[in-house]
Amino acid sequence: MDAKAKRSWKQRLRSWLIALVVIYAAWAIVVYAIQTRLLFPTYMIAARPPFVPPAGGGVEVVGVTGPEGVIETIVMRPTNGRAAEPGPVVIVFHGNAELARDGVGSRLEEHLRSRGITVVAPEYRGYGTMAGSPGQKEIGDDMVAVADWVAKQPWCDQQRVVYFGWSVGGGVACQLATAREPSGGMILQSTFTSVASFAGGFAVPVLLVKHPFRNDRVLESLDAPVLIVHGVNDSIVPVEHGRSLARIARHGEYVELAGDHFHDWADWGAYLGAIDRWLTARGM
């Protein structure tokens, strides 16, 4: 290859490399810009009127004062006649493409209420009628306010408070646990080790992840019992995430069941039975 051809080849190679760098930079900028929308897809939730609790159902909506405004919080009292005494509480943190109200009347939450448990379901910023924009820190700060409010209620036994997080709600539960460790423990269902772990799938560095939700690091140090439930056929958060969290947790118990990501257990008896056994061991 003569000198002229060599120079030409080097120039073309340099041009290709520059083009690749520009394309990658553009891709990284796009991923950085849209990640909040991907993680908290409020646009997927159809507009709905303000939530009206069912009459006579022991359900009410409370406005809890948060750092940036009122946090819409649904309180579902027990249905087994124990509503008048201080008792166990489960704070439920919902998934990213639903609202807290969607759990009202659900099989899981009605089952918890039938055990004498008060179920509390706070809403996230930017969801439903809530103002603001969702984010790991922002939602975490709001949930600290909710947990503090729950602890002051006459129906709350402060020694029996459990956080229950489904999908991204598991990240919210873990975020809250760093500030207010759950006295009764935590249940994580279909939850990831971290959002940061998905960065490689988008071919971007972890440093660009705005909401890393490092559940793995939380469980490494959390001195509270944790039940981890995962569906073996989960197509959104692969089951290996649940298995990894179980290995990491200092006081973890793991249950793997036939089912996907969306509360579609093949055997609901096995699912509720696993939760019952864990709650009973916690005095709930």
Q: Express each pLDDT in 189-209 by its tens digit.
A: 999 999 988 877 877 788 888
> Two tokens at 149?
């409010």
**Residues whose CB falls within 8 Å of the CB of residue 81, separated by 6 or more in sequence, listed in order:** none
Distance CA 171, CA 94 (A): 10
> Two tokens at 189?
């269902």
Distance CA 82, CA 115 (A): 9
**Residues whose CB falls within 8 Å of the CB of residue 227, separated by 6 or more in sequence, listed in order:** 185, 186, 187, 188, 252, 253, 255, 274, 275, 278
**Residues whose CB falls within 8 Å of the CB of residue 24, separated by 6 or more in sequence, listed in order:** 203
Residue 5 confidence class, pLDDT cut points 50, 70, 90: low
Pick the closest to residue 170 from 224, 91, 264 (CA basis): 91
* Average pLDDT over every residue of 45-61: 89
Q: How confident is the model at residue 6, as a pLDDT?
A: 64
Q: Is the pLDDT of residue 106 over 90?
A: yes
- The domains of the chain are located at 40-281
Write down how long the chain is.
284
Residue type at 263 in one-letter notation: H
Distance CA 110, CA 16 (A): 60
> Two tokens at 142?
């709001």
Residue type at 258 in one-letter notation: A
Distances, alpha carbon 269 to alpha carbons 108, 250, 276, in Å: 11, 27, 10
Q: How confident is the model at residue 67, as a pLDDT?
A: 95
The b-or-e profile of 219-255 (16+ CB within 10 A means b, else e) is beebebbbbbbbbeebeebeeebbbbbbebbeebbbb
Pick the closest to residue 174 from 214, 135, 120 (CA basis): 214
Number of other residues whose CB lies within 10 A of the CB of residue 201: 7
pLDDT tens profile 203-261? 778 888 899 999 999 999 999 999 999 999 999 999 999 999 999 999 999 999 999 99
> Is the separation of the CB atoms in 130 and 122 below 8 Å?
no
% helix, strand, coil for the chain, step of 5: 40, 20, 40
How do beta strands 118-122 and 185-189 pair? unpaired
DSSP designation for 258: S
CATH top class, domain 40-281: alpha beta
Residue 281 confidence class, pLDDT cut points 50, 70, 90: very high
Residue 30 confidence class, pLDDT cut points 50, 70, 90: confident
